[in-house]
Structure 1
Amino acid sequence: MSDNERLVFHLSSGGDVVIKLRPDLAPGHVERIKELAKSGFYDGVPFHRVIPGFMAQGGDPTGRGTGGSDLPNLRAEFSREPHVRGVCSMARTQDPNSANSQFFICFDDARFLDNQYTVWGEVESGMEYVDALPKGEPPANPGKIEKAEIREAA
Structure 2
Amino acid sequence: PDHVKRVKELAKAGFYDGVTFYRVIEGFVAQFGVPEHEWGTRAKLTPMKAEFSWPVRSGDPYLLVQRPDLLAEETGFNQGFAVAREQNQEWLVHCPGVVNMARANEPDTGVADIAIMMGQAPRHLDKNMSAFGKVIWGQYAVNRIRRGEATEGGVIGSAAARTVIKQARLGTDLAPDRQLQLEWLSTTSSEFSQSLAERRSRTHVFYQHKGNGNMDVCYPQVPVREVKPV
Category of TM-score, reference length = shorter chain: 0.7 to 0.9
**Percent identical across equivalent pairs?**
37
Q: Which residues of 2 match residues 51-130 of structure 1 at below 5 A? A: 51-60=25-34, 63=35, 67=39, 69-79=43-53, 80-107=91-118, 108-130=120-142
Conservation of the 8 A alpha-carbon contact between 1:91 and 1:102 = yes
Q: Which has the larger radius of gyration?
A: 2
Conservation of the 8 A alpha-carbon contact between 1:71 and 1:100 = yes
Higher helix share: 2
Conservation of the 8 A alpha-carbon contact between 1:50 and 1:139 = no
Task: Point out which structure has higher relative CO (alpha carbons under 8 A, 6+ apart).
Answer: 1
| Cα deviation digits, residues 55-82 of structure 1 (max 9, x gap) | 000011xx45773752211000012211
Runs of 4+ in 1 over 4 A off after TM superposition: 63-66
Kindly report the root-mean-square deviation, in angstroms, between the aligned alpha carbons of the 2 structures. Answer: 1.8
Unaligned segments of structure 1, at least 5 residues:
1-26
Match of 2:5 among 20, 31, 37: 31
Is 1:135–2:112 an aligned residue pair?
no
Instruction: Summarize the Cα distance change of 1:53–1:139 in structure 2 as closer, same or farther, 3 Å threshold.
Output: farther
Q: Distance in 2 between matches of 1:96 and 1:66?
A: 22
Instruction: Summarize the Cα distance change of 1:139–1:89 in structure 2 as closer, same or farther, 3 Å threshold.
Output: same
Q: Give the TM-score normalised by the residue count of structure 1.
A: 0.76
Letter in 2 for 1:110: P
Higher strand share: 1
2:106 is paired with a residue of what secondary structure? Answer: coil
Q: Distance in 2 between matches of 1:84 and 1:66?
A: 30
Find the counterpart in structure 2 of residue 146 from structure 1: 166
Q: Distance in 2 between matches of 1:50 and 1:145?
A: 14
1:125 is paired with a residue of what secondary structure? Answer: coil
Deviation of 1:149 after TM superposition, in Å, equals 0.4
| Cα deviation digits, residues 102-154 of structure 1 (max 9, x gap) | 11000021101000000111001111111111111116510011000012363
Matched pairs, number: 126
Q: Give the TM-score normalised by the residue count of structure 2.
A: 0.52
